[in-house]
Amino acid sequence: MRVSFFGLAIPALWLSCLASASAAEPVDPGWTAVPIAESISLLEGYECNITVSAGDDGIVLVDTCGAGMADKLLAAAQRLTAKPLRFVINTHVHSDHTNGNVVLQKYAPVISHHTVRTRLAAGNPVRGDKPKPPEAWPVITFDDEVILYLNGEEIRLLHLPPGHTDGDVVVFFKKANVVSMGDVFISPAASFGDRHSGGTYLGLITALELVLPQIPADAKIIPGHGMVSTRADIERGLEVLKGMKAIVETAVRSGKTLEQLQAERPFDQWRDSVPEWSRSDKSLDGRVRDFYREIAPQPK
């Protein structure tokens, strides 16, 4: 029996090419829909959490992830209902929550706190964010709160004091008992204050203290990133932030320099309470530095 080495080589060559192609073009993870309650679902993908209300009145999206994912995001939402996109909400200015605006606002208006529109228009040189085109700017803005009535839901948008940023909005879905937190809360516990976007750690503590009493004990919490959580998880995050604050206040009162405090590695005890991407020594040192800057008297 003759064996063709050519015939054996072709499958091997094909498999080699397929492996190379797979390495060059990673499989698109897409969006995964997770039912939460009533009309509310969570679309998970691309390290983004997108809260969706989908029903007879149409679709409401909370945040837009990145521009390259926006078309797929809309398609994923439209698999939940044949009704059109009605409104898009930005919880804050960061690009992983707003970069899809320019695509999605072709279909429905974007709503945000007014500072989000201002910051998108201006850009942020410190963060490396260029000014966004007018098509990406929210066309409906508000100061304190606004309520939408769609899909049998009372959808309450509440602006918080500057904390994570100065445009933080928490979205309450009253009937479903779901709260979409943006990055004011990031699973597993403690978010951060972005001073380059108008946020502070002390302000984040104040914001959480304000919003917590308004969240039902049994509410389902959708964080800006991470797993669906509970009110108890937010409480834990607040306690972590207060613990960090207390350590720095004590150090400042005792006259310790920032360098002395960082050398003690005081925040290592909370390494598992911050998002995975911010658990490095450098990131924890940055938290110490930012708390210290906010608490220590600054030279005039």
| Percentage of the residues of the chain whose pLDDT score is greater than 90 | 86
Query: 297 pLDDT band (50/70/90 cuts)?
Result: confident
Average pLDDT, the chain: 91
pLDDT at 30: 87
**CB-CB contact of 88 with 111 (8 Å):** yes
User: Is residue 20 scored above 80 in pLDDT?
Assistant: no
pLDDT at 184: 98
* Helix intervals (H) in 79-214: 95-98, 101-104, 114-122, 201-211
Q: Distance of CA 153 to CAs 33, 149, 159, 161, 274, Å? A: 20, 6, 19, 25, 32
The string of pLDDT tens digits covering residues 77-113 is 999 999 999 999 999 999 999 999 999 999 999 999 9
User: How many CB atoms lie under 10 A from the CB of residue 45?
Assistant: 18
pLDDT at 67: 87
Enumerate the β-bridge partners of residue 222. 180
Nearest to 129 by CA among 118, 139, 117, 120: 120
pLDDT at 300: 60
The string of pLDDT tens digits covering residues 164-193 is 999 999 999 999 999 999 999 999 999 999
pLDDT at 29: 59
- Give the span between the Cα atoms of 227 and 245, in whole angstroms: 26
User: How many CB atoms lie under 10 A from the CB of residue 127?
Assistant: 14
Please state the rounded mean pLDDT for residues 280-298.
95
Query: 13 pLDDT band (50/70/90 cuts)?
Result: very low
Residue-range domain boundaries for the chain: 32-230
Query: 128 pLDDT band (50/70/90 cuts)?
Result: confident
Please state the rounded mean pLDDT for residues 249-258.
97
**CB-CB contact of 215 with 179 (8 Å):** yes
pLDDT at 239: 98
User: Is residue 19 scored above 70 in pLDDT?
Assistant: no
The string of pLDDT tens digits covering residues 230-239 is 999 999 999 9
Strand (E) or helix (H) holding 173:
strand 169-173
The CATH T-level fold of domain 32-230 is Metallo-beta-lactamase; Chain A (3.60.15)
| Percentage of the residues of the chain whose pLDDT score is greater than 70 | 90
The string of pLDDT tens digits covering residues 193-212 is 999 999 999 999 999 999 99
Would you call the peptide bond into 138 cis, given omega within 30 degrees of 0 as the criterion?
no
Structure tokens at 230: 């509970």
Residues 6+ apart with CB under 8 A from 20: none
**CB-CB contact of 209 with 159 (8 Å):** no
